[in-house]
Structure 1
Amino acid sequence: MAHLEDVSADDLREILAEVEGKRATQRVMVGLNYKEGLSQRRLAEMYGRTEKTIYNWLCRLDRLADEPAEEVVYDAPRPGRPPKLDDGQRERLEDALNRPPTELGYDRSTWTPALAREYIAETFGVEYELRRVRELMSEAGLSYRAVRTGAAASAPTETSAAPGKKRWTN
């Protein structure tokens, strides 16, 4: 079965100029490449997808003749667990994690996952596993690095750190 008979390459280029997101962009690119004569097998190889996925995408793109691009190239929202923290709370958490804990009344000079979990529970009333707290800390721009101490900290050419000493830093 031939695909995209009622959709021109120019239509696809216009949609491509407007589309956002990796998967939606790939779908439109697959359509353009198909219009240029590439086989479904070749498209599957190029895009690292199965032939069935390419076929499904082309069937979706066939609907462009009758439906708006937004309804065709984008996936419908998928249900899932809602986040425990809303966007505003996440922003407040990131701001807090990028400040020393001492500014927030804690006796520690650096954040630890346990301290961040305590802060989240006290501030937002939300409990997280330490693994998720570490992810939140990373998303806030903190990283777990070796600590440079003593002469090593002041020596610009020194790259090694005290063995076994690491902490979360900005």
Structure 2
Amino acid sequence: MVELGNHSMEELRTALSNTNDAKAVKRLMIALAIKDDVSVTRLSTRYGIPPSTIYYWVNRFKQGTIEQALTDASRPGRPSKLTEEQRNRVSKWISNPPTQYGLEDTSWTPDALCKMIRLEFQVEYSVGHCKRILRNEAE
């Protein structure tokens, strides 16, 4: 039997009802199932998650609060290819139509943003990355 720590079913259910984050929901559903003595093997099959990941999540519940178990540690990733000043310029571009910068597009698309960054800074970004930049600026 896998131990989950001192978190009660009621605490886990309350946390589940208070979250909208898909990853947190999945972790809480697994935690509740562990409390109900569902095996890690069965949960792995049911959710398509490797057993090692489930054991990792269980250990996070054991070692800390529910909130800590639901969030991942910050991972900085690769450094930006653009300087902070350049990123600020990109933000300003996005607040105006691309036509203002000599592009034919009437609204910013990932392709248009990639083209502008390439022209202005000689930096190549994938279309997916430019899509994330646009999405983050819209938030």
Judge same fold: TM > 0.5, yes or no: yes
- SS of match in other structure, 1:81: coil
- Does 2:127 match 1:134? yes
Alpha-carbon separation, structure 2, partners of 1:58 and 1:92: 44
Partner of 1:30: 30
User: Taking every aligned residue pair, what percent have the same amino acid on both sides?
Assistant: 26
The answer (yes or no) to whether the contact 1:116–1:133 under 8 Å persists in 2 is no
Alpha-carbon separation, structure 2, partners of 1:19 and 1:53: 21
Partner of 1:152: none
Alpha-carbon separation, structure 2, partners of 1:112 and 1:76: 30
Post-superposition offset of 1:32: 0.9
Runs of 4+ with deviation above 6 angstroms: none
Post-superposition offset of 1:85: 6.4
RMSD, aligned α-carbons: 3.0
Query: Quick one: higher RCO (CA 8 Å, sep 6+), 1 or 2?
Result: 2
Higher helix share: 2
Higher strand share: 1
Structural mapping, 1:1-170, within 5 Å = 1-4=1-4, 6-19=6-19, 21-63=21-63, 67-83=64-80, 84=82, 89-96=89-96, 99-101=97-99, 103-104=100-101, 106=102, 108-110=103-105, 111=112, 113-118=114-119, 121=120, 126-129=121-124, 132=125, 134-135=127-128, 137-139=130-132, 140=134
Residue-by-residue CA offset, 1:69-102 (whole Å, 9 max, x unaligned): 3322211101322433667555434334xx242x
Structure 2 unmatched runs, 5+ = 106-111
Name the count of aligned residue pairs: 125
TM-score (norm 1): 0.57
The answer (yes or no) to whether the contact 2:4–2:61 under 8 Å persists in 1 is yes
Residue-by-residue CA offset, 1:38-58 (whole Å, 9 max, x unaligned): 211111012211112212212
Alpha-carbon separation, structure 2, partners of 1:85 and 1:19: 35
CA 1:88–1:32 in 2, change beyond 3 Å: closer, same or farther?
A: farther
Structure 1 unmatched runs, 5+ = 142-170
TM-score (norm 2): 0.67
Question: Highest CA radius of gyration, 1 or 2?
Answer: 1
